[in-house]
């Protein structure tokens, strides 16, 4: 008898996807870009599975497609794949560019964080100098390096359903940070948005933000 215990941990959901769809979700090594609209296929395939909810599937998919391993696989000449590992179309250049930019920014942030942690763990102590009868030469102050301007903060406002239309650029509330995308379809109260990563999600208007 199938267990009715729901998987609530994202890592556990990913492990379940690796086991259930091994030709699509690759646990180790190089991954392949996923089919646009794969979330809908996944939700339908697991509709009768009590282990995972749509919310947890969406979170797990977002983590999988935003990992460095996945972003490195989004490159020219590579085919997207469906749940069964079948090719289903080449990548668009704008998706490749977005993936590479996201990867570059993530690696730079991680490098800066490592350097900050290393500096905090091993602070340089000034060496003690022996007393000298001669006056030490006065050192000229080096000019301070100009600080890089902070990235402009985007002020988001909640979208109203009657203001939304197809091909409109919007941001979707998924987790802590809004994710940019384009509205592809509007059906009743549901809005279909293709994220810049290529993933298509179906959300209500209250989850959409306008900048």
pLDDT in tens, the chain (211 residues): 344 578 889 999 999 999 999 999 999 989 999 999 999 999 999 988 888 899 999 999 999 999 999 999 999 999 999 999 999 988 999 999 999 999 999 999 999 999 999 988 887 655 566 566 565 566 666 766 666 666 566 677 888 888 888 889 988 887 767 888 999 988 878 888 888 888 888 888 888 888 7
Q: Return the pLDDT at 148.
A: 62
Residue 194 burial class via C-beta count within 10 angstroms: exposed 0-12, middle 13-18, buried 19 and up: middle
Full strand arrangement of the beta sheet holding 169-174: 157-158, 208-210, 169-174, 177-187, 190-195, 200-204
CA 25: distance to chain centroid? Answer: 16
CA 62: distance to chain centroid? Answer: 6
Q: Return the pLDDT at 68.
A: 94
Six-digit token pair at 63? 């983590």
- Indicate the pTM of the whole model: 0.53
Q: Return the pLDDT at 178.
A: 82
Q: Return the pLDDT at 164.
A: 85
Strands 169-174 and 208-210: antiparallel
């Amino acid at each position: 008898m199938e267990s009715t215990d729901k998987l609530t941990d994202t890592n556990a959901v990913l492990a379940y996807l690796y086991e259930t769809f091994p030709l699509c979700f690759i646990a180790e090594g190089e991954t392949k870009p996923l089919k646009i609209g794969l979330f809908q296929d996944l939700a339908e395939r697991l509709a009768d599975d009590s282990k995972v909810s749509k919310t947890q599937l969406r979170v797990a998919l977002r983590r999988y497609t935003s990992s460095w391993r996945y972003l490195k696989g989004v490159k020219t000449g590579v085919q997207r794949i469906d749940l069964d590992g079948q090719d289903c179309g080449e990548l668009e250049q704008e998706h490749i560019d977005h993936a590479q930019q996201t990867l570059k920014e993530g690696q730079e942030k991680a490098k800066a964080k490592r350097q900050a942690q290393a500096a905090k763990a091993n602070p340089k102590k000034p060496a003690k100098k022996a007393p000298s009868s001669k006056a030490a030469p006065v050192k000229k102050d080096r000019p301070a390096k100009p600080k890089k301007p902070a990235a402009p903060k985007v002020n988001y406002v909640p979208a109203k359903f009657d203001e939304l239309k197809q091909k409109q650029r919007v941001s979707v509330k998924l987790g802590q940070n809004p994710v940019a995308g384009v509205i592809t379809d509007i059906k009743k109260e549901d809005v279909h948005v293709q994220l810049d990563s290529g993933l298509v999600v179906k959300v209500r208007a209250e989850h959409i933000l306008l900048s």
